[in-house]
Amino acid sequence: MLDFILSDGRHLLSHLGMSGGYRISETKVTEKHTHIQFKGTHEGQEVFIAYVDPRRFGHMYLYNQEDAQKKLNELGIDLKSPDFTYDYFKKSLLKYPHRLLKVTLMDQSLFAGTGNYICSEICARGFVLPGRLVSSLKEREIKKLYTAIFTVIDGATETGGTTFAGGYADTTGSKGGGVQHLVVFYQKICQQCNKTEVVKTTLAQRGTYHCPKCQK
Ligand SMILES: [Zn+2]
């Protein structure tokens, strides 16, 4: 969740969804799928900040200071925060033992910053099926999932985000190179065993990908 503090003190909270992103430009952004554009100045220069989102899963909220804080407090710990420890991860997972793993991973009140593709990738790299009941997970599987989160998140950020099907781009509009790190999401063949066909299902109302051989 991005938090823009406006000059009148209000907060614009912006959740990028699956394919949303910002472009920063000295000229007006005319890219397709630009939904909203802000004009400001930076060191005397006009600057445009545009929100571009081909698939429109992003959300924006305009709040006063107090309500913005409330909204931010509803979010779980960000996956990139130092407070996102193994204990926190395990405790949060086990909070709803009868949920499916993917449903809980997608829960922003527990884990801020997860998205649909990230959840498929975490399950794949943790070698666990996304449709497993949380209560059936063994300690070693929870540990693998925790480690997998960092592999997925770091892979996606170091290479400038992940792109697929007209999705992600960085603030200059360049497509990220992170796509090469995907092992199941939008893949035909599992990139971990390099031979099994990836299976697509719908979980938590979203396209979910897994390898029937690597994941148990
Ligand atoms: Zn596989």
Assigned CATH class of 77-210? mainly alpha
- β-bridge mates for residue 177, sequence order: none
- ipTM score assigned to the predicted complex: 0.99
Instruction: Please state the domain extents for the chain.
Output: 2-73, 77-210
19-61 pLDDT, tens digit each: 788 999 999 999 999 999 999 888 899 999 999 988 887 889 9
What is the rounded distance in angstroms from the CA atom of residue 207 to the CA atom of residue 74? 25
Cα-to-centroid distance, 181 and ligand 1 (Å): 14
Q: Domain 2-73, CATH 3.20.190.10 — does that match? A: yes
Segment 138-191, tens digit of pLDDT:
999 999 999 999 888 877 555 555 544 444 455 665 554 444 478 999 999 999
Element (H, E) at 181: none
Q: Encode pLDDT of 72-109 as tens digits.
A: 888 899 888 889 999 999 999 999 999 999 999 999 99
Q: Evaluate whether 16 touches 59 at the Cβ level (below 8 Å).
A: no
Residues with CB under 5 A from ligand 1 (ion): 190, 192-193, 196, 211, 213-214
How many angstroms does the Cα of residue 46 sit away from the middle of ligand 1? 50
d(CA 97, CA 200): 24
- Tell me the average pLDDT of the chain: 88
What is the enclosing helix (H) or strand (E) of 76?
none
